[in-house]
Chains A and B, each alone.
Chain A
Amino acid sequence: MSEDEELLEVENLRKWFELRKGLFSSPLYVKAVDGVSFKLKKGEAISLVGESGSGKTTLGKTILRLYEPTGGTIKIKGRDITHLKSNELMWYRRETALIEQDPYGALPSFFSIHRILEEPLIIHKFGNAEERRKRVREVLEEVRLTPIEDFAPKYPHMLSGGQLQRVAIARALTLRPELVVADEPVSMLDASVRIEILNLLRELQEKRKISFIYITHDLTTTKYFSEKLFIMYAGKIVEIGDMLKVVHNPLHPYTEALLKAIPDPDPRNREILRDVPPGEPPNLVNPPSGCRFHPRCPYKMDICQKEEPPVFEPENGRFVLCWLHAKK
């Protein structure tokens, strides 16, 4: 497959969670992901940024089919996997992987590092014992847990947080996946080791031509990871664009607010009040009508509360869900 081909195509994807329903009332839904569309090329890395409760984790997990979508389609290499059953999904599981936030909880404490890394190979019936050992050594080397002889027999409690996250990354890579979703992979690590892990992920992504979705609430770290930025708010992707363009010239008022809220280390900060919108993200059971950001938006117009904005493309390659950018 050529470099430019789409690996992943997501169309109007929805994931609603049903709340407990009363005997006579109709059920309520938390619309965690509500109409998301985007494409991802082979070997492309993107950062998906949103605040807690924006649906970014749900989107990641739905794409990996760890959740059953409520609506829309997910296609990988042109093949529709939206509603495949779990026994038909084994091949998809081999080609995708998830790296989670908490390395302390993600690894079974009763397995050695070698066994943790061998487990996916066993489950997917990869090679014989010798080939498996070789692959485990390979990935340990890739995440630089060396000397391998020292690390392979150890158990998770003997490693530091940064080392554990390396093991979690190694495990995600053992089956050579084409698509990796990393959900806040560094937010539980100390500031001094975060950059090290992000650099490692980036390096592996480039070397192995992995399509990578980096999910985070921390905009400052995304710049070092991907060229493309997806901004999510209240279950929708509200802006897509090149990292530097979005950071220096945000199109969506929410992106603008998010950027304004982030302090760089500067002693002058203490003299200023930040110009950020009041209020907090909406309840996703009953989101606001029209544009979901309109109750907090400083540029609110009449149309914003009445009609949901479609996707506009005011510049080539930049997409935004906001009426401000409607063609006049």
Chain B
Amino acid sequence: MTDTILQSRNLKLYYATRKGVVKAVNNVSFDLQKGESLALVGESGCGKSSLAKAIIRLLPRNIATYTGEVLLEGQDIMKLSDTQFRRQIRWKRISMVFQGAMNSLNPVLKIGYQVAEPLLIHEELDKKEAKKRAVEALRIVGIHESFVERYPFELSGGMKQRTVIAMALVTNPDILILDEPTSALDVITQANIMNLLKKLKKEMQLSYIFITHDIGLSSELADKVAVMYAGEIQEVADADTFYAKPAHPYSQKLMASVPTLRTEKKPEFIPGAPPSLVNPPSGCKFHPRCPSAFDRCSKENPPVFDLGSGHLVKCWWYAK
């Protein structure tokens, strides 16, 4: 049987801004099994990157609320102090590949050093040992040893992205958070990176949280899919169930809006725009755009209903 490695319970992350409190992550709960990849899907501004930041605790200064539980193999890591979290969790247990990180490589440092840096800082290895591990991490992502002495400008986009993945892997984490890891890459390069991530997952028993706005791309990695809208997870289902029969009206609409290459399906659009997170709609956040909304939807925020075998939906249609 698989073991649960990460659990989030009622996680909240609110930002204080001049316009008011932004409820970027609102009561988010999910489970991640060992060796499983969870795709976190949603449109821009739905809070998916904020959720990642809340898990790895890399927060901006304007935090209004940061509460809930994040259990890593049963231990509530929200209770750790910042120092403990930095020493024990971040990078050692949970790593992250940030969106656009390949463009944040330091242009004046050799990539071998940049990959080894987390080891020098977090594991206090000596330089020789750290370099050995960096070379190994780069080899795993498909970059030849001879590139260790090169600078970022000498690398192509795909190789820079591989370097950033190597940086996240060099400390041997259990969980890797991937925030739009291929968003700036060409489709063929993207396919190559996805191939790499699939191989790594198999070989290293990694658990992924894969954040993307692209439902087609999410199916490349997802064992389980969580759909986020307006700071809340609206639906969680295993991939086979989700792609065959999404239950939440938003998931259905989102799926219907995806243009496909190989089918004759005509995509539809969702009227309206995603809501503001400062002043979200009352009741269910999706009700103003929902084709099947009824009275109750605008008044009460629906709880999560369990449709069986872990298929969770936050929609009044499924109330008994």
> Which residues of A are interface residues toward B (Cβ below 8 A)?
51-52, 160-162, 190-196, 199, 217, 219-221, 223-224, 247, 257-267, 269-270, 273-274, 276-278, 280-281
> Which residues of B are interface residues toward A (Cβ below 8 A)?
37, 43-44, 156-158, 186-192, 194-195, 198-199, 213-223, 239-240, 242-244, 253-255, 257-263, 266-271, 273-274
Docked pose: A291 CA to B120 CA in angstroms: 46
The verdict on A269 contacting B220 (CB below 8 Å), with A192-B270, A193-B270, A193-B273 known, is: yes
Cβ 8 A contact of B260, one of A258, A264, A269: A264
List residues of chain A with CB within 8 A of the CB of B199: 273
In the bound complex, do residue B261 and residue A260 qualify as a contact, i.e. CB atoms below 8 Å apart? Answer: no
In the bound complex, do residue A265 and residue B219 qualify as a contact, i.e. CB atoms below 8 Å apart? Answer: yes
Docked pose: A46 CA to B198 CA in angstroms: 36
List residues of chain B with CB within 8 A of the CB of A192: 43, 253-254, 257, 269-270, 274
Docked pose: A190 CA to B275 CA in angstroms: 12
Tell me the nearest residue of chain A to B244, going by C-beta.
Answer: A267
In the bound complex, do residue A194 and residue B269 qualify as a contact, i.e. CB atoms below 8 Å apart? Answer: yes
Docked pose: A220 CA to B152 CA in angstroms: 32
Tell me the nearest residue of chain A to B198, going by C-beta.
Answer: A273
| B123 → chain A closest CB, angstroms | 32
- A51-B187, A194-B257, A223-B261 known; 7 new pairs, CB 8 Å cut-off, are A52-B186, A192-B257, A196-B271, A258-B187, A262-B187, A264-B216, A269-B219
Tell me the nearest residue of chain A to B199, going by C-beta.
Answer: A273
Counting from the closest, the 8 A-B pairs by CB-CB distance are A261-B191, A51-B186, A196-B269, A267-B239, A192-B270, A220-B259, A195-B269, A274-B191
In the bound complex, do residue B243 and residue A266 qualify as a contact, i.e. CB atoms below 8 Å apart? Answer: yes
In the bound complex, do residue B195 and residue A195 qualify as a contact, i.e. CB atoms below 8 Å apart? Answer: no
In the bound complex, do residue A193 and residue B189 qualify as a contact, i.e. CB atoms below 8 Å apart? Answer: no
The verdict on A160 contacting B273 (CB below 8 Å), with A220-B261, A276-B192, A280-B189 known, is: yes
The verdict on A262 contacting B270 (CB below 8 Å), with A192-B253, A276-B192 known, is: no
In the bound complex, do residue B257 and residue A195 qualify as a contact, i.e. CB atoms below 8 Å apart? Answer: yes
In the bound complex, do residue A265 and residue B221 qualify as a contact, i.e. CB atoms below 8 Å apart? Answer: no
The verdict on A191 contacting B243 (CB below 8 Å), with A261-B188, A266-B219, A270-B223 known, is: no
